[in-house]
Structure 1
Amino acid sequence: MKNAIAERIHDFLKKFHPFKSIDDENLFTIAQSISVLYLEKNDYLFKVNDETHDFFYVVASGAIGLSITSDSDDVLIDKCDEGDILGLRPFFAKDNYLMNAKAREESIIYAIPIAVFKPIVIKNASVLEFLLQSFASNTRNPLDKKNKGKLLSENVIYDDTSNEIQYYQPIHYTKNPVTASTLDIVRQVAQTMTSKKIGSIIIHENKLPVGILTDKDLRSKIATGLHPIDITIDKIMSSPVITVAENISVVEAQMMMLKHNVAHLCVTKDGTNLSEIKGIISEHDIVVAQANNPGVLLRQTRRAQNTNDLKSIREKVTDLIQNSIDKDIPIYHICSIVGEINIAITKRAIEQAIEKLGTPPPTRFAWLNVGSQGRKEQLLLTDQDNALVFEDVSEAQYDEVKNYFIALADIVTKKLNTIGYEFCPANMMASNPLWCKSVSEWQNQFYSWIHHPGEKGILMCTIFFDYDFVYGDENLMHEITNTILKETHDNQLFYAYLGANALENPAPLGFFRQFLVENDGEHKDTFDIKSRALLPLVDAARILILSVGIRNINNTALRFAKLAEIEPQNAVIYKSCEEAFLELLKFRTEEGLEHNSDGRYLNLKELTKLDKVKLKNDFQPINDIQEVIKNRFKLTYFT
């Protein structure tokens, strides 16, 4: 009896790459195994950090949005339509998904079991190459030169050209690997692997490769009791070992591993098992080949063993930023990803610090980034601003608990300084007892700043009202947020002070539309883009988002986007502020990268005429948004 559903699926798939390269018999086998999923609008197929599924997916109808999560909002990166493949990550990689896949409308999805698809694919070179090129070059269809479409759920942010070049370059591998002979004892070889901190070892006879022993072999054959530990290696090694030539490319290595279902390749002089061993390639080496991939940097961060490891990762972030700007990646996307990497580095530094202290935290706590880090706007290496909040404890416990967290913060801030985040000149760091407080102390502190908004209080508000959760118990941060929203609600005096502060820096153009530059000092005749252009927009976004009671949106661009959504009458102004802020941030970032500085001061003589026009156009939204603030908070008499 015919399977009508499977036939319809077969006919559908046959229209699209790579399925059109699969013979009818095998394609029908695939079609019979497929699960049909129905997603309503806004249903998730998978989310960031979800464990990978046993399936990959094809959109049968509807549309699936691919997005990253930033400041609790989904930021759409790409859209998959009919016939598009998504979710290839479990086919090629062992780690979790890097993006969200969410239905943008009612959608029907075909879920293809990898266990069924894989044996068919590895016998079909054209299909295998198509999928590998798709994954490697970050495109859904590498055969379509005009409209490839991004596979951004697999490799975040990089364009097809750079990844194609990268993947077809020779892979870097471990040279002169540790080897053992077939007659060596398993116990001795396992001890060698432990002492050398390696997960595999090539087995040779007369210096020719005959097999490989991996951690997996030890777990499955020795630890289970299947074999005793004192037998010779030849009894449990995997043989034969797959050999390749020295100049193999990244994509070729990945194809060989997939074809033979192995995680290691032995590099020999001529690529056969009849020549001298030169090295070993592991899945890790393929991951390292994607060193500029944000997902890889995040994985490396989680595995970092010490401060130097974290420093090395942060140095790679600078290259990531530069490459992204060179390829015209939107600055907001760069901010989102760099912000997540900065958070991951701080998290790992905290974990390492706890390990160094040797005792677990005595109570719940939360580490917060504040200021530009809290807004995820710190692309360049500037100073660190952070705070720590711990759970309320009894008076008898208080000193001991606080001393523990100050000691912890001291280690963390020193680590961050070594990594490249300089100490805050004003000592606004969690290692300072002033900024390491219990929940109730922080609530009292914010109450004081809000109800006694003198000059110092408003200064603190402009820093500490922009905070982002990093590590610990997020509920502690929410308790502080609840206090802030309660005490600022309809608080006219507070908003008068905060609004006046937001108006202190008007648009930086003189009467004749000339730039207002520094008149003296080290930076004479340069333009202070931070204080004169970025800060007025940051301050405006903060007061306006606070006044409408919106929580957990800290990024300036996102704040303006949210304001445009909830206040359509001012949407044009808010959107122009969002765009201006992002362009100004890009100016600052490019300046910093070019001169290895914080990018704060622009040399106007180095700017093109077009760049100067762009800058001046970005100043008009400052005037517009400050007019909104004046009118909303009745601040004419302050100015």
Structure 2
Amino acid sequence: MKNTIAARIADFLKNFPPFDLLQQEQLYTLASEVKVVYVEKGRSIFKAGEEQHQYFYVVNKGAVSVLKPQNDIFETIDKCDEGDIFGLRPLFAKENYLLETLAVEESILYGIPIDIFKPIAENHPRVREFLLQSFASNTRNPYASGDKGKLLTSTPPVVAAQNLFELQPAPITRKVITISPATTVQKAAQKMKSRMVGSLVVVEDNIPVGIVTDENFRDLVANGMALEAVPVSEIMSSPVICYSKGITISQAQLTMMKHGIDHICITEDGTPNSEVIGILSAHNIMLSEGNNPSILMKAIQRSNSTNELKKIRNKITLLLRGYLESNIPLNLISKIIFELNDASIKRIVERCIKKMPAPPPAEFAWLSLGSQGRKEQLLQTDQDNAIIFDDVAPEHHAATKAYFLELAKKVNKRLSIIGYEYCPVNTMAKNEQWCKSLSEWKEQVALWITNAGNDELLLSSIFFDFDISYGNVKLSNALSDHIFELTRNNKRFTSALAAVTLRNPPPLGFFRQFVVEHDGENKDTFDIKKRAITPLTDAGRLLILSHEVKNLSNTSERFDKLTQLEPSNRELYLACSFASKALLKFRTKQGIKERNNGRFIKLEELSKEEKMKLKRCFRSLKEVQDLVKIRFEISGYHV
């Protein structure tokens, strides 16, 4: 006779991943072993530090909060409701829980037995992949239709953030503590305690032959064996599972799950036949989860202080470093970092509005200008921003502007605290020149475009690269439409803009040497922004503007679009697209290395290969500037 309770459980589970991937017979067998758990509101399911349960859980009814303990305060990092899974740690790691769970409503849970489910997961790649992604990202349902492929539910699909997290290099411990096979268990335990490590690598001639962990010692004690007489060769895990230092988080997790281990040995060539250079533990992988973009996005959205955001910003830098080390394509990196930057700005604006004495007196838009507007701000450089507010009655204009200037002052200050320095030329919304009504902005840009001197061209070009970070997009679109109307068929303006585009020729002097700064605090360094990145950015902006293409501000994407618009110049534009990404990546790596904005490069520290790569980028810059010079009939490289 069929078990009606198991049938009801199976009918419920089949509607949710990863159980919807199982065959009906598998699902029914599993459901027959499920434990039904009733939890009162306010009761904990498991606590941080508690020993693992024999189950992970699915919410049948009610809601469960997942909490992270931090300095005696519990931060809610997720809320699980019907069909969501949580408590996966026993499936992947043999250690106590790191998080805490609390029923925020009267709840019924299904406890899925680990010992029965684990063989199913190991033999079902899609189930295993789902659970790994869910566990690695602390995301209860990484395939949820509402959030799939998104960092923000309110933004268009970008990339699967969890996948990029898993492609990061696994966090390897370089200081490996080794012992010989003849070392007694007692001496090994003493060494492990004195060095405060959880594992030792057993080596012969520095070649790994086994691994011992504190779990091995606990098993011996439980069995009553004499520790002083037993050599570690009798209890060690062998043969050793080895990888080279390029192993990713995803590879490490799958390997540990497949072999039922918590440690991987890192060797020179990735085999047990070469020297040990590191150790990788499941615990270290768990600690690295805080740098997952999905987790960082949640932390940004829930942050309640500027100092919290500052700490999150430091984690974003670690995330960026991991992406660069893994050679993730720069266009994907840029999109992820842009979303995290943009969310940080949005959160600051939201919190500052709450600190104002009253709600905004009119609709407004907070614009990010410059590199953030182009989705190219990987490092924390100085801030460039502006405010557009809706037109109000003349008698209310002064008070409305005063309100937004005060708001901008608060926002600019907090952006500075989290790492975005004040703009040296004061291109910030707290400056009344950059905080205007829509009508005022239309008048201002019309003045800049009709009086196209060098300064006016620089100021007007800023508004071809902006992006709205907060507020009413209709205001920014209205301004954008107005600008394009003013520049349409305006040959005088485009010619003047072309001349400015050529103000910085390719940065190579006589005998193909780099042009460096001749004085000041950055004397003898190469200014990669001024002499390479900005000229290429200017050229891309001018050329895409000449085709009247709107809403495309990223430099490499502009050149990619130009390959479609001008097939005859396809090879040149592809080279420029590559050069723009290569220069940005080069600057970012230098900035991370030197812990600054990466703008000024010490040439003596570059390898010959790095110099050659830069020079190839300069060749593309020269060719596109030659094209601009001919097309817009500019007689020289200088205005």
TM-score normalised by L of structure 2: 0.60
Matched, 1:158 2:157: no
Sequence identity of aligned pairs in percent? 42
Deviation at 1:486, TM superposition (A): 0.5
Find the aligned partners of 1:24 and 1:90 in 2 and give their Cα distance: 18
Find the aligned partners of 1:139 and 1:636 in 2 and give their Cα distance: 60
Deviation at 1:135, TM superposition (A): 4.1
8 A Cα contact 2:169 2:322, kept in partner: no
What is the SS of the residue equivalent to 2:596?
coil
Matched, 1:134 2:129: yes
What is the SS of the residue equivalent to 1:572?
helix
Find the aligned partners of 2:164 and 2:461 in 1 and give their Cα distance: 32
Q: Which of 153-162 and 616-625 deviates more?
A: 153-162
8 A Cα contact 2:559 2:573, kept in partner: yes
| Structure 2 equivalent of residue 299 of structure 1 | 298
Find the aligned partners of 2:21 and 2:544 in 1 and give their Cα distance: 54
Deviations 1:487-519 (A, max 9, x none): 101101101111000001111112321211222
What is the SS of the residue equivalent to 2:506?
coil
8 A Cα contact 2:21 2:127, kept in partner: no
Deviation at 1:524, TM superposition (A): 2.2
| Structure 1 equivalent of residue 449 of structure 2 | 450
Deviation at 1:394, TM superposition (A): 0.7
| Structure 2 equivalent of residue 341 of structure 1 | 340
Deviation at 1:138, TM superposition (A): 5.1
What is the SS of the residue equivalent to 2:165?
coil
What is the SS of the residue equivalent to 1:290?
helix
Distance 1:161 1:341, change over 3 A: closer
What is the SS of the residue equivalent to 2:392?
coil
Find the aligned partners of 1:20 and 1:429 in 2 and give their Cα distance: 52
What is the SS of the residue equivalent to 2:375?
coil
Whichever residue aligns with residue 426 of structure 1, its letter is V
Distance 1:160 1:502, change over 3 A: closer
| Structure 1 equivalent of residue 628 of structure 2 | 629
Distance 1:29 1:552, change over 3 A: farther
Distance 1:24 1:352, change over 3 A: closer
Deviations 1:237-288 (A, max 9, x none): xxxxxxxxxxxxx989xx9xxxxxxxxxxxxxxxxxxxxxxxxxxxxxx998
| Structure 2 equivalent of residue 432 of structure 1 | 431
Whichever residue aligns with residue 160 of structure 2, its letter is S
| Structure 1 equivalent of residue 26 of structure 2 | 26
Where do 1:313-332 residues align within 5 Å?
313-332=312-331
Whichever residue aligns with residue 596 of structure 1, its letter is R
Find the aligned partners of 1:616 and 1:138 in 2 and give their Cα distance: 41
8 A Cα contact 1:409 1:430, kept in partner: yes
Find the aligned partners of 2:407 and 2:320 in 1 and give their Cα distance: 31
Deviation at 1:570, TM superposition (A): 1.4
Where do 1:203-352 residues align within 5 Å?
290-352=289-351
Deviation at 1:601, TM superposition (A): 1.2
Deviations 1:102-122 (A, max 9, x none): xxxxxxxxxxxxxxx997999
Whichever residue aligns with residue 164 of structure 2, its letter is I
Deviations 1:31-61 (A, max 9, x none): xxxxxxxxxxxxxxxxxxxxxxx9xxxxxxx
What is the SS of the residue equivalent to 1:305?
coil
What is the SS of the residue equivalent to 2:429?
coil
Distance 1:637 1:523, change over 3 A: closer
8 A Cα contact 2:441 2:479, kept in partner: yes
Deviation at 1:356, TM superposition (A): 0.6
TM-score normalised by L of structure 1: 0.60
Q: Which of 123-132 and 563-572 deviates more?
A: 123-132
Whichever residue aligns with residue 382 of structure 2, its letter is D
8 A Cα contact 1:21 1:126, kept in partner: no
Distance 1:136 1:20, change over 3 A: closer
Find the aligned partners of 1:546 and 1:400 in 2 and give their Cα distance: 37
Where do 1:473-622 residues align within 5 Å?
473-622=472-621
Find the aligned partners of 2:520 and 2:336 in 1 and give their Cα distance: 36
Find the aligned partners of 1:405 and 1:580 in 2 and give their Cα distance: 39
Distance 1:452 1:138, change over 3 A: same
What is the SS of the residue equivalent to 1:388?
strand
Deviations 1:198-243 (A, max 9, x none): xxxxxxxxxxxxxxxxxxxxxxxxxxxxxxxxxxxxxxxxxxxxxx
- For the aligned residue pairs, the C-alpha RMSD in angstroms reads 3.6
Find the aligned partners of 1:251 and 1:631 in 2 and give their Cα distance: 56
Distance 1:306 1:564, change over 3 A: same
Whichever residue aligns with residue 155 of structure 1, its letter is Q
Distance 1:335 1:161, change over 3 A: closer
Aligned residues: 421
What is the SS of the residue equivalent to 1:368?
strand
What is the SS of the residue equivalent to 2:512?
coil
Deviations 1:435-484 (A, max 9, x none): 00001111111111111111210121233331001000001000001011
Whichever residue aligns with residue 536 of structure 1, its letter is P
Distance 1:154 1:127, change over 3 A: farther
| Structure 1 equivalent of residue 246 of structure 2 | none
8 A Cα contact 2:300 2:309, kept in partner: yes
Distance 1:131 1:357, change over 3 A: same
What is the SS of the residue equivalent to 2:365?
strand
Distance 1:636 1:314, change over 3 A: same
Deviation at 1:331, TM superposition (A): 2.2
Whichever residue aligns with residue 365 of structure 1, its letter is F
8 A Cα contact 1:537 1:577, kept in partner: yes
What is the SS of the residue equivalent to 2:164?
coil
Distance 1:411 1:326, change over 3 A: same
Deviations 1:148-169 (A, max 9, x none): xx99636041345746989xxx
Whichever residue aligns with residue 337 of structure 2, its letter is V
Deviations 1:170-224 (A, max 9, x none): xxxxxxxxxxxxxxxxxxxxxxxxxxxxxxxxxxxxxxxxxxxxxxxxxxxxxxx
8 A Cα contact 2:572 2:624, kept in partner: yes
Find the aligned partners of 2:26 and 2:132 in 1 and give their Cα distance: 27
8 A Cα contact 1:21 1:127, kept in partner: no
| Structure 1 equivalent of residue 225 of structure 2 | none
Distance 1:634 1:121, change over 3 A: farther
Distance 1:402 1:287, change over 3 A: farther
Where do 1:102-141 residues align within 5 Å?
123-128=116-121, 133-135=128-130
What is the SS of the residue equivalent to 2:291?
coil
Distance 1:122 1:472, change over 3 A: farther
Distance 1:358 1:165, change over 3 A: farther
8 A Cα contact 2:309 2:418, kept in partner: yes
| Structure 1 equivalent of residue 145 of structure 2 | none
